[in-house]
Amino acid sequence: MYLSEFFEKNKTLYYDNLTFVRTKNDLGQWIRLFLTGVIQTAENSVATLKKITDLKASLEKERILLMGKRSKPAIEFLHQLFKKPVVTIKGVQTITGLSPKAANDLVKAFVKHKILVETTGYQRNRVFVFDEYMSMF
């Protein structure tokens, strides 16, 4: 949970409530604001988690299974992308244990299926981002 975002969005209300604590000794109002922030942040976190699990299921069902013989390493790689959504070919090799060519082919398949996006424009040392997942944050 990231409460700072709630307080940043409600900065005026936050400072007004702190002023009430200081000037009128009204700690209760600030606690209500804080708890409102906890509730809203928790609700947002649950909604984001739901989106993530839906995305994972959708990718596995609609894109990974279309990769044929690459499906098994692709599933394993996809699961790792949720932990580390920015990768290089060398990183894919480390994650999957595949050869450089096989790792490159797997990444090409992920780009083709719009799971990864290449961000550098380079021929070497390319960086790929799991953009659909990253955009949820």
Residues 15 and 75 in one domain: no
Residues 33 and 72 in one domain: no
Q: What is the CA radius of gyration of the chain?
A: 22
The span from the first CA to the last CA of the chain, in angstroms, equals 12
Check residue 39 and give its pLDDT.
97
Considering the chain, what percentage of its residues have pLDDT values greater than 70? 99
Residues 80 and 23 in one domain: no
What's 78's domain CATH number? Answer: 1.10.10.10
Query: Residue 26: phi, psi to the nearest 5?
Result: -100, 80
Whole-number mean pLDDT of the chain? 94
How large is the average pLDDT for residues 19-37?
Answer: 93
Angle between helices 27-62 and 71-81 (to 10 degrees): 170
Check residue 26 and give its pLDDT.
86
Domain count, the chain: 2
pLDDT band at 76 (very low <50, low <70, confident <90, very high): very high
